[in-house]
Amino acid sequence: MDSQGDGGAGQGPGPPPSGDTGATHGDLIVVTIGATVPTGFEHTATEEVNEKIGVDARISKDRGRIYFPITTDKLSQVHLLRSVDNLFVVVKEYDSYQFKDSKEETLMELQQLASKLPWTNALEVWKLNCSLKKKKGNRKGGGGTKLKPNSETSDAVVADTEEQAPPEAVAAAEGRTNAENTPDTEACTQDSEESAAAAKLIKFRVTCSRAGDKHSFSSNEAARDFGGAVQEFFQWKADMTKFDIEVLLNIHNEEMVIGIALTEESLHRRNISHFGPTTLRSTLCYGMLRLCKPQASDIILDPMCGTGAIPLEGAIEFTDSFYIAGDNNDMAVNRTVNNICHIQKRRAGKSSASGLPIDTVRWDLCNLPIRTSSVDIIITDMPFGKRMGSKKRNWDLYPSCLREMARVCRPGSGKAVLLTQDKKCFAKAISRMGGLWRKLHTVWVNVGGLHAAVYLLKRTGLVFGQAPEEFHESPGKADIQSEEKGDAELS
């Protein structure tokens, strides 16, 4: 990662200049991939990258992002990661970019930067990514990659590396063709050549994500001026909605990363077809599941399943456990059943085993039809008291459901992973459990802009029913400071 510098010219054939984020090894290109991940689960994402890709990932200063190197033959595997939301290939990184005090000088510098960046390898990866999406679409029987609503499907969108030649190369090729044509055939081919050039004209947009209060410019101003320079350099056409390439300009205080997006929509939407009012992202569900480390033959319970996002992610990724999804709301249970059916049909279409180790039940959360001490792991998204329920109701609900969870969970070995934004109510409810639960770890997360926490609890060895009822354990000073620190980190 550079502190600051030109980075060398980037367009054209040949090896990347010194300081580039990519390198070539034979036919393979080594590039840096950036990924957005659920805030708070960055370490979970780096662990998964190491396990499945075999490389070490680093966490960005800006929470919710990780970076890791890959060779281009691993690109398809990167898209199978369960903990990442969006992917992009890094064009250039600046660890400490010295932005000018004047807005005009800074924007002028961003304009000049566009022609100095090492674009070559990143664009090659983008082309390869397009060809992978085209192959995936063909396997599904589709006519190509489906972009955003109302977008046009053209050769430029899903073309392979030969079809996605830069406009300069296209113009040169046309010049040679025209020189070889006779006067009789030149007029006949003029229209077709113009239409081919139009079809191959790449459309793009620049998206700027900025954090920090010491910048003299806005995100829109940076995207506008940098985008204008990119357009002038490549002769691409700007299009905010039907774009082929999305150039990313991520600025966090002094850190600046320029990249090209590799995903058209977030990978967290992979499992759910029937959404509810509070559906969790699948990537967040994966992080919660990894936190409790499911083992073979574990019985895993989600007593407030909503749309079934958590048990569905578990049944797909951690297949050696069995999942029970339940809710007291008929609509929620129906959504879960529909989502399970959707996944089963999709798996059957891929000629893979369509069955999932999951079952769905409608029940009373505080009176579960489950034998005492029979569940290994409980994992659920508890009501925040915002879109569902109320803060006032949580003061009665939380103690009741925690007590019922303690009853069905195995003493000594059972675990619970619980997500909530109502941290004060949760801390009070835990203190009234008579020592049935012990808090092991807290992950501070951002859920739809709300500062929430994922609590990892261990079921103590106390036998349910023998612990002193309504035992009040005052939250320690360390717990209170930890809650305040977590809120400050998310802010």
**What's the pLDDT band for 278 if we cut at 50, 70, 90?**
confident
Amino acid letter for position 60? S
| Contact predicate 255/96, CB 8 Å | yes
36's tokens = 């957005």
Contact 279, 273 (CB under 8 A): no
User: Band of the pLDDT at 461, cuts 50, 70, 90?
Assistant: very high
Q: What is the pLDDT of residue 258?
A: 97
Helix (H, G, I), strand (E, B) or coil at 151: coil
pLDDT of residue 16: 38
Which pLDDT does position 137 carry in this prediction?
A: 57
> The whole model's pTM is what?
0.78
Q: Is there a contact between 357 and 323 (Cβ–Cβ < 8 Å)?
A: yes
Taking residue 470's Cβ as centre, other Cβ atoms within 10 Å add up to 8
| Euclidean distance between CA atoms 260 and 473, whole angstroms | 52
Q: What domains can you pick out in the chain, each with its CATH number?
A: 28-134+201-267 (3.30.2130.30), 282-470 (3.40.50.150)
**CA–CA distance, 375 with 462 (Å, rounded to integer):** 15
| Residue 296 pLDDT greater than 60, yes or no | yes
Quote the pLDDT of residue 390: 61
Q: By percentage, how much of the chain surpasses pLDDT 90?
A: 60
Checking phi first, is residue 406 left (phi over 0); if not, alpha (psi -120 to 50) or beta?
A: alpha
Is pLDDT above 60 for 337?
Answer: yes
- Rounded to whole angstroms, the Cα distance separating 348 from 328 reads 30
Bridge partners (DSSP) of residue 447 are 450
146 versus 450: which is more confidently predicted?
A: 450
The predicted pLDDT at position 193 comes to 56
CA 198/CA 203 separation, integer angstroms: 11
Instruction: Please give the average per-residue pLDDT across 205-225, as a whole number.
Output: 93
Closest by CA to 251, choosing from 431, 113, 409, 61, is: 61
372-419: pLDDT as tens digits? 999 999 999 998 655 555 677 888 899 999 999 999 999 999 999 999
Tally of helices (H runs) and strands (E runs) in the chain: 14, 16
